[in-house]
Amino acid sequence: PAPRVVIVGGGVGGATTAKYLKLYAPHVNVTIIEPKREYQRPYGSSEVITGQIELEDIVISYDDLKTRHGVEFVHDTVEAIDFEAKQVRTAGGQRLGYDRLVVSPGVSFDFEAIDGLNAELAETRLPHAWDAGDQLLVLKEQLESLPENPTVVIGPPPNPYRCPPGPYERAGLIAQWLLDRGDTQARVVILDPKNGFTTDYTMLHAWNDLYDFNIPEPARSKYSDEEWAQLTVHDNPGPIEWVMGDMGGRILSVDAETMTVEAEAGSFQADLINIIPPLKAGRIAIDQDLADDSGWCPVDQRTFESTRHADVHVIGDACIAGAMPKSGYAANSQAKVLAIQLKALLAGNDPVEPVFQNTCYALAGNTEVGMFVADVFRLDGDTIARVDEQRYLPFDATETEYRLAALYQHNWMKAFTEDCFS
Ligand code: FAD
């Protein structure tokens, strides 16, 4: 009989694995179990909040996977995995047997880490909007109803988390939105547990130019003395303030009633609060013992087979993949490697030596100003390591280069979606 591969989650990782496995090994029976009838992409979703795109623009159909590639779909939620019987059970009561199981359930949110935050508040007054869906619209509406010259607090999560430049891009987009509305005295305060982020070198510099942003002194070490001397110190700084970890940026608690955020640095009164809680692997991976104490899933980084349960592969945001970030690009790259490995393993062959790539694009806020880091990864022993230098835009990048990077970002978004889902 044809080998059976069951995939939990029809997001970036699951969809790409299904498509490429069908391309490489058409005889394999591939079934995705996914509750949603249509996918909403989290990547690029902050632009829904600031109105560059609509919610419907991030909706992706599964039709091509079904009709063009012959991927079977069960629209249901996986509730349990029986590792002995090699079966998954869904909330709707179905049981599906597998030869190999792929789990790509994305992330879940650790609300308990921040006092005053919970899942219900995230749907209403304190949306994180970090997993697409209606929270984006809640946040959009909150933004649009803000009083003149408001204070917005953005709380990026601690490492590791999905989309490393994402919270800062969102801060920039919101600052730009407020400036466009004519709010010259607005504040966008980033309360950060960390002292750095992917693309910080370029992003902070771009903000220094675009938004009269003052780069905090503790970030000085990111620049050479010569570069630091070229940055501007603004007497009347613009909207964005970055309270780094070393400056007390870590958030301790939030009060939705009084709209107050307590951080190590003190108390912040806000008109809009967008805290992204610490992240963990998707619920199903934690409940089914695929995650370790870190909250993420350890895998053999050559095949993504779980080190806790045989014949189960975890990819995407949920897995621990060495130096690879938690991004859609990375999930897609892992999925393509996994499809090759599954074909080999199902035929009783040895897995191949993998190579991975990732590019993280980000916008400064002004959507015509972009930046990126691009990396290649290989195994170093048992761990995925970066083998190519990160390539940020250089310090002296021209306006055209920044514009080009923004163009790359928007075109990548389209081509990437097609690569995963069409
Ligand atoms: P997901 O794509 O989240 O898919 C998980 C799927 O699993 C979901 O469809 C879910 O419904 C399903 N699922 C969960 N549990 C179950 C269950 N029990 N049973 C069945 N199905 C289940 N990445 C980039 O590369 N570039 C970017 O520019 C970028 N920008 C971003 C901007 C923002 C604001 C955000 C939030 C993210 C961004 N990302 C970006 C990150 C990217 O979206 C994720 O890294 C990527 O979606 C991860 O893929 P995944 O397959 O791990 O999870």
Looking at residue 389, its pLDDT comes to 72
Residue 391: pLDDT over 80: no
Q: What is the DSSP pairing of strand 95-97 with strand 100-103?
A: unpaired
Q: Is 133 in the pocket of ligand 1 (CB under 6 A)?
A: no
Counting ligand 1 atoms within 8 A of each CB, the residue from 47, 163, 287, 421 with the most, and so the one to mutate, is: 163
CA of 374 to the centre of ligand 1 (A): 20
Residue 390: pLDDT over 80: no
Kindly report the protein residue whose alpha carbon is nearest to atom 12 of ligand 1. 9
Q: What predicted TM-score, i.e. pTM, was given to this entire model?
A: 0.98
pLDDT tens digits along 14-34: 999 999 999 999 999 999 999
Looking at residue 371, its pLDDT comes to 95
Residue 300: pLDDT over 90: yes
Looking at residue 130, its pLDDT comes to 98
pLDDT tens digits along 51-61: 999 999 999 99
Residue range 126-155: mean pLDDT, rounded: 98
Return the ligand 1 atom nearest residue 409 CA: 28
Looking at residue 57, its pLDDT comes to 97
Q: Is 328 in the pocket of ligand 1 (CB under 6 A)?
A: yes
Kindly report the protein residue whose alpha carbon is nearest to atom 22 of ligand 1. 9
Counting ligand 1 atoms within 8 A of each CB, the residue from 284, 317, 421 with the most, and so the one to mutate, is: 317
Return the ligand 1 atom nearest residue 132 CA: 36
Q: Is 167 in the pocket of ligand 1 (CB under 6 A)?
A: no
Residue 388: pLDDT over 90: no
Kindly report the protein residue whose alpha carbon is nearest to atom 14 of ligand 1. 105
Looking at residue 78, its pLDDT comes to 98
Kindly report the protein residue whose alpha carbon is nearest to atom 42 of ligand 1. 328
Residue 404: pLDDT over 80: yes
CA of 11 to the centre of ligand 1 (A): 6
Counting ligand 1 atoms within 8 A of each CB, the residue from 162, 279, 296 with the most, and so the one to mutate, is: 162
CA of 328 to the centre of ligand 1 (A): 7
Residue 190: pLDDT over 80: yes
Looking at residue 393, its pLDDT comes to 87
Q: Is 129 in the pocket of ligand 1 (CB under 6 A)?
A: no
Looking at residue 32, its pLDDT comes to 98
For the chain, the three-class secondary structure string (H helix, E strand, C coil) is: CCCEEEEECCCHHHHHHHHHHHHHCCCCEEEEECCCCEEECCCCCHHHHCCCCCHHHHEEECHHHHHHCCCEEECCCEEEEECCCCEEEECCCCEEECCEEEECCCEEECHHHCECCCHHHHHCCCCCCCCCCCHHHHHHHHHHCCCCCCEEEEECCCCCCECCCHHHHHHHHHHHHHHHCCCCCCEEEEECCCCCCCCHHHHHHHHHHHCCCCCCHHHHHHCCHHHHHHCCCCCCCCCEEEECHHHCCCEEEEECCCCEEEECCEEEECCEEEECCCEEECHHHHHCCCCCCCCCEEECCCCCEECCCCCEEECHHHEECCCCCECHHHHHHHHHHHHHHHHHHHCCCCCCCCEEEEEEEEECCCCCCEEEEEEEEEEECCEEEECCCCCCCCCCCCHHHHHHHHHHHHHHHHHHHHHHHC
How high does pLDDT run on average in the chain? Answer: 97
Looking at residue 46, its pLDDT comes to 98
Residue range 371-376: mean pLDDT, rounded: 94
Q: Is 104 in the pocket of ligand 1 (CB under 6 A)?
A: yes
Residue range 355-367: mean pLDDT, rounded: 96
Residue range 91-115: mean pLDDT, rounded: 98
Kindly report the protein residue whose alpha carbon is nearest to atom 32 of ligand 1. 43
CA of 317 to the centre of ligand 1 (A): 7
Residue 392: pLDDT over 80: no
